[in-house]
Amino acid sequence: MSFKRSSAVTQVADARLDQHIKERAMQQRLSWSLVVLIAAAVPAAAQHAGHASSLAGLRAGPGEEYRRVGEASAGNALTVYGCLKNGTWCDVRTPDARGWMPAQAIALERGDLSRVVPKIEFSLDTYWDAHYRGREWTVESERALWRDHSPGNSPALEVLAPGEGLPQTGDPSIARRAKQETRVTTERTNRERAEIDAARSLQFKRDQARTACRSRQRAQEQSAARDANGQPASSGTSMEDCDRLRDE
């Protein structure tokens, strides 16, 4: 009788031990799942979704004097990684490029830019190695010109490089080179926009002429249909002639 009682007690103890082991295993799985979720959430927390509130250029560093590496039009999606401590420039990515953009041209989808985006510093070598490695303007001779430059708080280029029309002695300064590159880029952009505007204007005029021609043709056809003889009067212009106006 005592043997049966001892056996029953042993079975109960074994069952409790098995249950305890299962519960511990479940807790460990839940703990690991929580760790994975937290780890996955950390990178997302360091990025903020936004868009460009106005047309702005992307630069290879936090300042207008740095090389232009891209452009964001108003409404273009942005990923914001951080901003300088003074809040003037931010590190962003567009669908086409990575670079620095004026903070005033950035609008976040959620939150205020100056409060929710982390404050970061700009390290030229680290940043250029990560995003521009292999480009011709990232060679050591070029980097040497920029390492002593203080980004983010530079005065206007006109102050940095006055008297651009005077004879130049020695190698051009960073500011002088930046002015030259900026002027060339601006002139090219203005030419391209002027060509696009001229093409649009010409196409608009052609569309208007085609529409007016087709309206006259339809009016003449309707007038001829109401004529007692039912014979359409020839206007000398067909719908095909009107369509050709659009392509001339």
The 10s digit of each residue's pLDDT in 12-58 is 555 665 665 566 656 655 454 443 343 333 344 467 899 999 999 99
The 10s digit of each residue's pLDDT in 150-168 is 765 444 444 444 444 444 4
CATH code that applies to domain 48-161? 2.30.30.40
The full set of domain ranges for the chain reads 1-45, 48-161, 200-247
Is-contact 62 121, C-beta < 8 A? no
d(CA 158, CA 146): 18
- Residues pairing with 57 in the sheet: 71
Is-contact 212 236, C-beta < 8 A? no
Per the prediction, the chain carries an average pLDDT of: 74
Q: Which of 81-85, 94-98, 217-221 has the lowest mean pLDDT?
A: 217-221
pTM score above 0.95: no
Is-contact 54 70, C-beta < 8 A? no
